[in-house]
Amino acid sequence: MPLAFAPFNAYWVAPLSLGLAALLWRRIPLSQALLRGWLFGLGMFGGGVHWVYFSLHDYGQASPVVAGLLTLLLVGYLAVYPALVAAGMAWARSLTAAPSLILLLPALWTLTEWLREWVLTGFPWLALGYSQSDSVLAGWAPLLGVHGLCLLTAVLAGALALGVRGPMLARSLALSLALLILISGHLLKEREWTRASPSKFSVALIQGNIEQDLKWRPEWRRRTLDRYVSLTFDSEPTDLVVWPETALPFYMDQLGAFGPELSARLLRRGSLLLTGAPTQVDGRVYNSLVALGAADGAYNKRHLVPFGEFIPMRGVLNVFSEYVQIPMSDFGRGEPQQPGFKLGSVRIGASICYEIIFPGLIRRSLPQSNVLVNVSNDAWFGNSLAPHQHLQIARLRAMESERYVLRGTNNGISAIIDATGAVLARTPQFEAHALIGQWIPRTGATPYVRWGATPSLLLALGMLLAALLSGRRKPSVRV
């Protein structure tokens, strides 16, 4: 299954992998199905999110044993969700092949993925829909979002399984359903739900490439600032300049007199700078994106990373901080609704780091926002799969909203993503770079922006109910 996601992008593997797994989960005892589903999850998430180990060990200074145990704990927890799907199919093993594979499998997978987005603050990484960012199913993204892509991918998985093990009539129906989904996805790719502005804007995404183990050292503060300033002002002037998450590894108010000086230089160029930096407000510390130059204001990160940016249940779990040393790991949570930024009449929707993996959070700034900006510090991930997966997730947000996504990172992958999810330009990884390009504001709302995940979840619930009703036996009548 991990091969279906970036950087491998073998999207056809997703329905094939899930379809084969579904054949192994049907008509077996419940306990055996739980085990098989959990083992499937271990393979999926062990292969797909093993980079958590590098974040904990290489940059969090955790010992190999502690980092390994915590990574296994996370993977083991995530594997519970495929186990629940397998158990549900085994519990309903009296169902015939068609309702089990075409209705029950997609419904259960979609609903458990939605739960994974919320339980324990949520971690929807490797949600099945992301694997289809380059397939014809992506045409459905503006209508149904990533949850709908998950549902449709799982329907294709069930159709494949039915084609292998089902009766002839069911095979024909499964093939017809799969073709209908694929053809409609292709046709929907030609449909635009929003409108492009006649004006274009320029952007400079500044990638400082500051090594994570140097980033927070006091002696590196001035060198870090000098690098971002030189990369910015040695490049051509642009309307918007984006520095990544915590590009300034010190509190914003510690800029002192250099802050007004930097703003004045930006104003002379007609530029708005958005920079990541920690901020202090009323005794609370926030992971923020701050505006300088052509506008002012700040955005405070709303969805924090457990253990990385705050310690949940601190009274019980504070021992975690004794084994993993993560700088600035006690941030406050930003307000749910924040005004964002303005560049003239253009509104900018902001998000920081892995906030981009929560589609409902991004939706809150839409359709008012004409462009989306996401900043991140993917240096935590090292040379792993994670930066590529992160970029793929950002592309889905562009498809769902039909908005440009401007993604600025510390060491890659920074990218300009258009309203169809296509990457127009990107930086090389692990190099200091100024990526210059253009973007177009858009107005209007896609069906997904209007309705969110509700249609997909209602469809999944309806399919679940239909599957269960199809398995009800008529009572025998004694004469």
- Active-site positions read 245, 301, 353
User: What values do phi and psi take at 278, rounded to 5?
Assistant: -70, 145
Put the strands of the sheet holding 346-352 in their side by side order.
Answer: 341-343, 346-352, 371-376, 405-409, 415-417, 423-426
Residue type, 435: L
Q: Give the closest residue to 42 by CA, choosing from 17, 18, 71, 78.
A: 78
CA–CA dist 366, 444 (Å, integer)? 9
User: Residue 122: left (phi > 0), alpha (psi -120 to 50), or beta?
Assistant: left
Other Cβ atoms within 10 Å of 341 Cβ, number: 25
- Taken in order 385, 422, 341, 338, the sign of the CA dihedral is negative
User: What values do phi and psi take at 272, rounded to 5?
Assistant: -105, 125
Cis peptide leading into residue 237 (ω within 30°): no
Cis peptide leading into residue 367 (ω within 30°): yes
Residue type, 4: A
